[in-house]
Every structure is written in structure tokens, then in C-alpha cells.
Structure 1
């Protein structure tokens, strides 16, 4: 018998948390496909303002396999997910199961079977998405950018819905990152990986808490967290523009000496050049600002999240160094 840990972050999901718990419980119930395994279901609440916390308290009181972390405020989905992941004690860990069940829990038994056969990372890939064409296109562009700039591949359409072996888990939680991009950390770790395609379902209950600004923020974090190529491009681009500007200046001086009266017509060129180089400088400053912001977050050394309360949980093995399966 192996222990399977499942992590489910949530925020204002009173319509979904009980359904999510029941779906997982059914898999491990007698006669279910995972009945021969032990279950650990960790919910991380990001300071919900509805009835989510009350439902989680009741579930934890009725089911010892349910573990709950209550954050002191909303720290965003990645930080909340990563902090909860540190508490997992299973031999295999499902990194993320959304409580709205857009990623299907019925795929978990197949993931476990592949893990039992020796695959260390079983990743679900959203081959079909019940979402708009615009969102699908933006995601495709994002993955192309990240994989072009990085020295490792983040599989397209693979999110945090992945089952990882405990040795992979140890590598992931060892990262001291204040804004962890979890799918990137898993991809950078390596190990044997299998990708299972599935249909990403439309949300049936409630409203998604991810808006356009949050998705952009997550995408920018994914790009700048794992590569310094943007800075390198800025350096080469800036050097190239400097060479062109110097050549233009030399040619202008020579032309001005050879052709009398040439200077006044060049006024528009000066204005255009001024705006162009000002724009380039602002673009580069913004690029550097992204890296400086990430560095600033790291050097402050604050906690990933601040917890208000833990239910059915002690210190995570990632902190205490112990655990029944650690």
C-alpha cells in the first residue's frame, strides 16, 4: 500500500470543495480503483470570504485524511499551492487538483498505474480545452516563448496537474523561491516523464478567480524565472543599436563637411532618433525591472505564505525533516 497525496488550493469555492472531496474519496473507497492505496487530501484555503472555511473544517473533522491550511490572506494561487505541497507525506503526490474539477480526478488512477510502473513524473496535458480561441492562442504563444528562451522544455498544455514521485517532490520543495512557478520547477528537475492528454473541462459551478491580469502576471513570472535570455537579448540589441548610432553619427559629420547646408534638414532625423532611443531605453529599463523585482522578492527572505491555522497537520516534512514516508 502506498500513500497518495493530493493538493487542492481554493479561494471562495463553497460550491466546489465538498464535490471535490467526494470525487477523490470515491476513488479510494472500497471497490474504487485506488482502494488499495492510502489517501491524503490537502486543501489550502487562500483566505476565502464565503463559506469555504466552514465546509473545510467540517470535512476535516469528519475525515482524518483531509488536511487543511488556512492562509492569513490571499497570497495568489502559486504560492498557496507550493506551500501546501510542502506538507505532502505521500509516496506519490498529485501537485494540483482544482476544486472546480476542470482537471479530471478520474485520470488519477491511470496516473498512479504509470507511477507504479516506474514513471517518476506523470503529467496531464490539456489536449482539448473548453475555453475561448483567444485564450488558447495566448497560451500557445506563451509556451513557445518560454521553450525558445529556456534550456529545458516545459511541455505545452501541461500545468500543475501532475503526479510526481517523492524523489521529485524533494527536489521541487527544496527550491527557496518566493514566487514559485511550479510546472517550470518540475520540468527543470528532469526525471522520467509521461504525458497523458485529456480534455480540460469548463467550470460547472462558481466563477474562476483567475483574471487577465493574474494570468499575465503568471506568464511573466514563468518567462523571467527560468532564463536570462531576455537580458542577453537586450545587451546584444543595445550593442547593435550603439554601433548603428555611431556609424550614423560618423556619416552625418562627414556629409556635413562635404555638403554645405546639410545640417538644417537633419533636424527631423534628430527628433526621430531621440524618440527611438528613448523608447529603446525605456523598454530595456522595464526588462531589467522585471529581474530586479524578482531579485528583491528573493533577498527579502519572507515566508511563501503566512498561515493563520492548520487542521490535521503538523510541520511539513520539508521543514521538520521527518515523515512517515519521508
Structure 2
């Protein structure tokens, strides 16, 4: 049972608009082999939502029709969608950069033993969750045994060349704070991770991406239950930096849910705040099919609420890590 979240203000965050569309971030499924405390999607082993065949056909058409250069696959565990490999293969044939938001433990699950090989063969970039180099901290946030399984997954990726200089196979790690605080400086934390993971486990990776926890869904409910929600929101507002606005991922990315509906970001998707698209008739939210009819999204307003302060607080936050270091 989740605590009820307060309504997020629609007025205080600055108005921002879209630039050229560069990336599609697709939430393929809420199904996941883990159930992490910080997960803003409320993903888990019992979720059944998954992108339909109809929406996947439209996705392929949008990729073919638009000049997007990146397909960012997320979930849940996106690899658990039955057509994950088909989606990756189509995007790579079209010359797109493909990112897999991987939780690492999926690489050891029965039926996924050859997943790492598939990712390497298709030169998919792996953006892997690892909130700490400490077993206790990781298992506390993500579940017992997750750390050891994650290390096993990283070893498997390293053996294929991921994270190794000169291989061209990108392996980035993703860090989320454990509680109601902002991430530490990304550069210093990356250096610490590289030292500890190399010395303790012989693991290499390319970059560490620090992401601020969003005060929504499972993490937001935890804040409410602990009486920390208002203080955390105040921390985000007090840490706002206007210079981070230009680098926000929502300016060049469209988030697509498992039903094919469009949002300015994955967080708005979870809050059911659809993207604003002029010209919709009789519908209150745009769909993938509308992208086939829209040649450009430049200048479109971006839907904002107070949770957007999480992306502009301190060093800033995006799916590509800190905006400033």
C-alpha cells in the first residue's frame, strides 16, 4: 500500500519549450525481475503491462519517418519484452544509436543467458544501474543478492569488451542516492567507483551517470510515509539552477509509454501528464501515430510540475547523468 502523494504545483517551474527531436525513450514494459525502492515506475515481477504489437509497428514507422538518432529502451526490465531483440535489430539496421537501460541482474536470469552476447553483437550501449560499490548499500536499495548478481553481470559484459578502452562498446553505470538527498558531484563519484570496482572486482566501465531521485511513485510514497516529502521538495527548489534549463532531456526527447502514448519525459509519463501536441481533435493525449503526421516538434511547450526541480537542482540530472559537474 503506497502513501498518497501531494499534488505537484503546475505554476512555479519556469516555462520551457522543445528543441529538435533527437531521441525516443520507449518504456517497453513495467515487468521487472527486481523491485527497487527508488523506482519511479513501480516496476516489479508481477506487472503485466507491455507494449503491444500495434504500437511496435507504429514505432518502427516513426523510426523510419523521423530523423531521430537515438532509441533509448527502458522499463521495467526492457529485455523482458518478448520483442526486445527485434526492436533493437530494426533500430540498428536504421543506423540508430540504441541504449539499453539494464539492471544487470537480468543477464543472469534463466532464458537470458545469451543476452549480453546479443547486446555486444548489435553494439548496443548499456546503461546499467549500480547505486553503490558496497554490497550492503545496493542490497538495501534493490533487494538481497542484487549486488552479487550485478557484479556477475558486469564481469560478463567486461569479458565481451564492454567498458574496455578502444572496444567501442559503451558501459555506463547509473547512480541514485539512497535517500532524500542530491547526488554528490558526478566526476568525483565516478573516480571513486572506478577505483573501488577495479581494485575489489577487476571491473571497468566508461562513465558514471548520477541521477536525482524523483519525488514520485514508489520513492515519493516512501518520502511521504517517512514525513520527508515536503523537506525533499524544498531541497529541490532551493537547489534550482537556471543554467541547467538548456540541458534538460525533455527538450530533445519524447517518452513513449507501453500503449504508445507520448510524454515529455519518463517522469511525466508516470504522473500521466501527456505531451502537448497542437492539432489533436477529440483526444487529450498524443500517440505514436501523431508523430507520423508531425514533421517537427520544435517550439512546442513542455509540460512541467514541481517534480521538474529534480532535474535542475544542483549539478542537474538527466538520463545522461549530471548536466553540470
Please give the TM-score of this superposition, normalised by the length of structure 1. Answer: 0.27
**Higher Rg of the two aligned structures:** 1
Greater helix fraction, Structure 1 or Structure 2: 1
